[in-house]
Chain A
Amino acid sequence: MHVVEYLVIFAILLAVVAFVSAPVRRALAGRSDDAGADQAHAGSLAELEAAREAKYRELRDADLDHRTGKLSDADYDELDRTLRGEAIAIMHDIDRATIDEQ
């Protein structure tokens, strides 16, 4: 009975080692497709994209606040202008980061 249990344990251990070490073994064999990617750059781009998403959300929130009467026309126009300016600045940063990456 114990022999079967030991065999099962050994099989699981082999499977785990094979699965976990696969990326390292692939890299050692020279088959890594994305080793050495510019992670810092990708990190900056991801930060900017997250900021863009948040800014879009803020624009929509301001729009909804205006339509439901929480913002006056004057306040909304000023806020919308500011937010769009900020969004455009983020877009330009994203464009620059994308060109740098390419």
Chain B
Amino acid sequence: MALIGRALLIMALGTAGFGIGASIHGARTGRREWVDAGRRSVYALAALATIAFAVLEDAFWRNDFSFNVVANHSSTTTPAFYKLAAAWSSQEGSLLLWVFLLSLWSSLILFLVRKRAWEITPYATAVLLGFAAFFTSLAAFWANPFTTSANPPAEGAGLDPLLLHPTMMIHPPMLYSGYTLLTIPFAFAVGALITGRLGAEWISLTRRFALAAWLFLGIGILLGALWSYTELGWGGYWAWDPVENAALMPWLLITAFIHSIMIQEKRGMLKVWNVSLVLGAGTLSILGTFLVRSGILDSIHAFGASTLGVPFVILLAVMVMGSIGLIVWRREQLRSDARLESLLSREAVFLFQNLVLVGMVFVIFWVTFFPLISEALTGTKVSVGPPAFQPFIVPLALILVLLSGIGPIIAWRRVTVANLRRNFALPVTAGLVTLFVLLFWPGGPSSRPFALIMFALAGFVLTSVVQELWRGVAARRAMTHDPVPLALVQLIRRNRRRYGGYTVHAGLAVLLVGVAASSSFQHSDDVILSPGQKAHVDGYTIRYVRPVETVSSQKIGFGAVLDVTKGGKHVTTVTTVRNFYPSQNPADGLIGKFFDTSNADSEVGLDQNLRRNIWTVINAQPTPLAPLINKGNSVFAAYAPQVMTKAAKLPPGQAQSAMNGLWAERDLAVTEIARRFVTHPWPTEFLLIVAPLVSWIWLGALIMGVGGLIALWPVPSFARRRERVASPARPTAPPPVPVREPV
């Protein structure tokens, strides 16, 4: 099967190459047959990538350790779900996943526009196939997932324990879907620039794909944060890690793009800005992929050092120089058709919001790459952490929340002062009431001004969104007399972009309240406890009740049952475990390999509700067991060769039985040593955290996702809706400009 896989990659590369040539030839000569052949190349590429990916998944499923990638990233004891997902835990498999997803999304857009945009589409097809050719050639020649070994091992190395987490298995496909979807607006923007068709068409073709990229990338980022919070054992959800930042930057740019294209659609303004945003987001998506794969910046999410850096740098250089060149070439056609009429208008708010988002991207980019910049200039790689981001990002986030509250309650083009007063009165009052209540709240957040301002602004945003929904419902009911729930559903259904967007704003406010509260008012303590001892964190008493241990063929776990009380009342009981996975290093010894501290992960003991999270993790170390482990290693180092020598002289059935006896004795020894964590417990380190409103982060993200789905859901075009009710229009008939109808 590996041969078929390798052949599929070569065929995919050839198909992409042919498709690029056919699309460009078709576009330049106006011959549809070549354009169609180019589009079919994308479909064929999708089929080839799908088969290739199925071949790889099949190898993982069958534990075919002749595939090097399977031997290095899976084992017979890897659970079935993780076996299928292990394909993308490797550099090689994830490159194939990139090609697979890119070809699927490219096929979808090209199928949807197959009878439209005949000028732009061939160039967009060539660009999409260019990306596909790049990643396919990496998979075929640099990191081939179908390389095999003539002498496959009997057992694989297994999946990295940190990846044995449900979110981590969904996180990469979501993130890669976001990245690959970002290439679609990029490709159509390039097509629009080459052909000079820079009006509303390329935007209407790609808006939904930009939204889908925003949604998928957002889900990917969120799942990464959830994994970090529940798996990595440091108690946080966002570390400003280079790879996290690499996903956040294009997400912020595409957020700006989704807003600013509305200004271009309505006013014909910001054309240069919009193509720059979409080209920038596409380039940053490749930059993010480069960061994960090159190993140039240290990150827990990266694949480590590799030789893929140079091809990526070349691709990024082509994208940046090409984008700048195209924009300069088309600068005359990119001039705005209109000017900003008033600073008191929704387009002005969108413009400010765009500047804030781009400002955030600049800050994140600069600080993320500062270690490389400092190394290039001074020869010393300076480390930067979260404190370097916060002084800039926190004020920008506050402005962003403020603008997300103003946007929904201000009209396009211009507003009068009387309307402004009417629309702002309630939200501003709500924000001020929130501010004053919290300011004078006993033990409240007055000591943390940024958090306080964030809470007040969230009050403003949520009230403005609720007010908008209520007024919309009232306007609809005035015409239709529908009951309130029906009027609300119909209002949202008929204005999905608007109310989907408002829902996202509400979710953002909720999410950032969670971030502000949990980061400003978190209490944590790093303690060493023996069974029966207690620690006090933020009014909670946490008692180490008893140690627990688990031994299986996959891991050894040292855990603790913790009892949490407050004011003498029982609150919750949580269990946290430190798991050690067998190492593959023979130097660790036959017993020591099961107590490998470098191959460990944490199970967090977590009790969460909407008000607060109690987060605990044990950092148990097998150090006190070292004498026993060393003794066991010595005994088995002497005993095992004797058994193996004897077994070699026995018939196969008896030899297997002798070896099984040896492994059973070893397992018994490991179990007895591990049991000492319970029978002779030693003082163990714990990290205990009590943080308010962490769940609001996940809740806010969920609300944002729902809003994104509402905005993404397709609606029939106004023209088609009208055609259904109107008689067939003659070319000279009066144009059917919409009559007023229920909102």
* Interchain CB contact under 8 A, A54 and B265: yes
19 contacts between A and B (CB under 8 A): A12-B11, A19-B44, A22-B40, A23-B40, A27-B33, A35-B32, A39-B118, A40-B119, A43-B117, A52-B719, A54-B200, A56-B738, A58-B412, A61-B412, A64-B475, A67-B475, A70-B410, A71-B411, A91-B735
* Interchain CB contact under 8 A, B7 and A67: no
**Interface residues, chain B, with chain A CB atoms under 8 Å away:** 1, 3-4, 7-8, 11, 15, 18-19, 22, 30-34, 36-37, 40-41, 43-44, 47-48, 51, 116-120, 195, 197, 199-201, 203-204, 265-266, 409-416, 418-419, 422-423, 468, 471-472, 475, 478, 495, 497-498, 717-719, 731-732, 735-738, 740, 743
Alpha-carbon separation in the docked complex, A59 to B718 (Å): 11
Alpha-carbon separation in the docked complex, A70 to B44 (Å): 51
* Interchain CB contact under 8 A, B199 and A68: no
- The answer to whether A79 and B413 touch (CB under 8 A), given A8-B4, A12-B51, A67-B743, is yes
Cβ–Cβ < 8 Å partners of B34 in chain A: 23-24
* Interchain CB contact under 8 A, A87 and B737: yes
* Interchain CB contact under 8 A, A50 and B201: yes
Contacts A16-B15, A20-B40, A70-B411 known; list 17 others, CB within 8 Å.
Answer: A5-B4, A8-B4, A16-B11, A37-B118, A43-B117, A43-B120, A50-B199, A53-B200, A53-B204, A53-B718, A56-B718, A57-B497, A61-B412, A67-B475, A69-B422, A79-B413, A102-B731
Interface string of A40-80 (1 = CB under 8 A from B): 10110011011111101111111111011111100100010
How far apart are A71's CB and chain B's nearest CB, in angstroms? 5
Alpha-carbon separation in the docked complex, A19 to B38 (Å): 11
Which 7 interchain pairs have the tightest Cβ spacing? A91-B735, A67-B475, A27-B33, A23-B36, A50-B200, A56-B718, A70-B411
Alpha-carbon separation in the docked complex, A79 to B735 (Å): 19
**Interface SS of chain A: helix, strand, loop or mixed?**
helix
Alpha-carbon separation in the docked complex, A16 to B32 (Å): 19
Cβ–Cβ < 8 Å partners of B740 in chain A: 63
**Interface SS of chain B: helix, strand, loop or mixed?**
helix
- The answer to whether A53 and B719 touch (CB under 8 A), given A16-B48, A23-B33, A63-B743, is yes
Alpha-carbon separation in the docked complex, A12 to B52 (Å): 12
Alpha-carbon separation in the docked complex, A48 to B289 (Å): 37
**Interface residues, chain A, with chain B CB atoms under 8 Å away:** 2, 5-6, 8-9, 12-13, 16, 19-24, 26-27, 32, 34-37, 39-40, 42-43, 46-47, 49-54, 56-65, 67-72, 75, 79, 84, 87-88, 91-92, 94-95, 98-99, 102
Looking at B7, B195, B472, the one whose CB has the most chain A CB atoms below 10 A away is B7
* Interchain CB contact under 8 A, B199 and A47: yes
Which chain A residue shows the least CB distance to B733?
A95
How far apart are A87's CB and chain B's nearest CB, in angstroms? 5
Looking at B468, B738, B740, the one whose CB has the most chain A CB atoms below 10 A away is B738
How far apart are B500's CB and chain A's nearest CB, in angstroms? 14
* Interchain CB contact under 8 A, A57 and B199: no
Cβ–Cβ < 8 Å partners of A57 in chain B: 265-266, 497, 718
Which chain B residue shows the least CB distance to A33?
B32
* B8 partner, pick from A12, A64, A91, beta carbons under 8 A: A12
Alpha-carbon separation in the docked complex, A33 to B30 (Å): 14
- The answer to whether A75 and B416 touch (CB under 8 A), given A12-B11, A92-B735, is yes
